[in-house]
């Protein structure tokens, strides 16, 4: 009950736009290490003030070589009472010494063997990196201030693909939020589309599909929503108004538009984590 009451206060505070409360409730990113098989990976942990236990979210970064620490997003999650963990998968950012960067590998494969081979390698590498995401959840479960029964996966772009792969596994998670997973590759790769459809068909947890209207392709949200409806998989789908003026700006809605999507997304999480908690209008 203490967590539920605190959550209601967090929601009301953010809705009122109290940035000072947001700042006060957030702790700067803490760099940590965790194991993924034989690899030692790095990640960034942002937690609310207090002892918890708090629900927690893993944020799956995209294909960028140098993902951020979550410093921009962390205050939103912390204000709502969530721990945010941003693991850097093998070959990315602070974990760059554990493998080659996926972008270089895909560029090389494209030059050698063409578009279809690149798509197949992309799916294979993301399946491999799924182990890093699952290891991140294993790490969270060891932390005394995290509630191991209330964990969710978020992801943007390549991270949205990661999110769908985790939703297919279930892995003891309660919810998934997929921001524009595969939007940049949807029209160019049947291989990627087929893998995403398979994950949607087999999803074991509720999924929230989100994009901005001016993203590269809205196929991920529209098609996967239809697939999940057909297979009776609990989900929500929402296409927000255009964000910025370009496809790239629309694709970046996940990271730059958090003040817009925070309310609906945290309402969705509240329904999964505390289904008996009264709605907040």
**E strand or H helix at 35:** strand 30-36
Give the pLDDT confidence score for residue 28 in this predicted structure.
86
Of residues 143 and 20, more confidently modeled: 143
- In this predicted structure, the answer to whether residue 252 has a pLDDT above a threshold of 80 is yes
**Domains of the chain (ranges plus CATH)?**
2-258 (3.40.50.1820)
Q: Please check the confidence at residue 272 and state whether its pLDDT lies above 90.
A: yes
Residues 236-251 have a mean pLDDT of: 97
- Maximum CA extent, the chain: 58
- Over residues 76-89, the mean pLDDT reads 96
Share of the chain above pLDDT 90, in %: 86
Instruction: Give the per-residue pLDDT at 25.
Output: 53
Q: Centre a 10 Å sphere on the Cβ of residue 49 and count the other Cβ atoms it contains.
A: 9
Residue 155 has pLDDT above 50, yes or no: yes
- Higher per-residue confidence, 99 vs 21: 99
Check whether 76 has a pLDDT greater than 70: yes
In tens, the pLDDT along 119-139 reads 999 999 999 999 999 999 999
Round to whole Å and give the CA distance between 99 and 217.
30
Q: DSSP assignment of 156-175, as one string?
A: ETHHHHHHHHHHHH-TT--E
Structure tokens at 122: 């992309």
**Which pLDDT band, with edges at 50, 70 and 90, does 117 fall under?**
very high
Model's pTM, two decimal places? Answer: 0.89
pLDDT at 158 over 70: yes
**Residue range 31-60: average pLDDT?**
97
Alpha carbon 146 to chain centroid, angstroms: 18
């Amino acid at each position: 009950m203490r967590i539920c009451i605190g959550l209601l206060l967090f929601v009301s505070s953010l809705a009122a736009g109290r940035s000072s409360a947001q700042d006060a409730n957030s702790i700067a990113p803490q760099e940590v290490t965790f194991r993924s098989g034989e690899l030692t990976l790095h990640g960034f942990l942002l937690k609310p003030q207090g002892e918890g236990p708090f629900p927690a979210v893993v944020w799956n970064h995209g294909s960028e070589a140098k993902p951020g620490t979550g410093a921009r997003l962390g205050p939103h999650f912390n204000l709502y009472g969530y721990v945010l963990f941003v693991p850097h998968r093998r070959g990315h950012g602070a974990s760059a010494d554990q493998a080659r960067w996926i972008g270089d590998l895909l560029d090389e494969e494209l030059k050698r063997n063409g578009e279809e081979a690149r798509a197949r390698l992309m799916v294979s590498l993301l399946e491999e990196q799924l182990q890093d995401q699952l290891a991140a959840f294993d790490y969270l479960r060891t932390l005394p201030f995290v509630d191991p029964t209330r964990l969710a996966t978020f992801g943007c772009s390549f991270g949205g693909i990661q999110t769908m792969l985790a939703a297919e596994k279930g892995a003891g998670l309660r919810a998934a939020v997929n921001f524009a997973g595969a939007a940049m590759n949807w029209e160019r790769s049947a291989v990627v589309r087929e893998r995403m459809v398979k994950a949607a068909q087999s999803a074991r947890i509720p999924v929230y599909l989100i994009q901005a209207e001016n993203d590269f392709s809205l196929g991920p949200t529209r098609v996967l929503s239809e697939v999940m409806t057909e297979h009776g998989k609990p989900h929500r789908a929402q296409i927000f108004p255009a964000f910025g003026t370009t496809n790239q700006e629309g694709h970046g809605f996940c990271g730059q538009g958090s003040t817009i999507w925070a309310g609906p997304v945290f309402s969705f999480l509240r329904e999964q984590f505390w289904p008996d908690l009264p709605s907040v209008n």
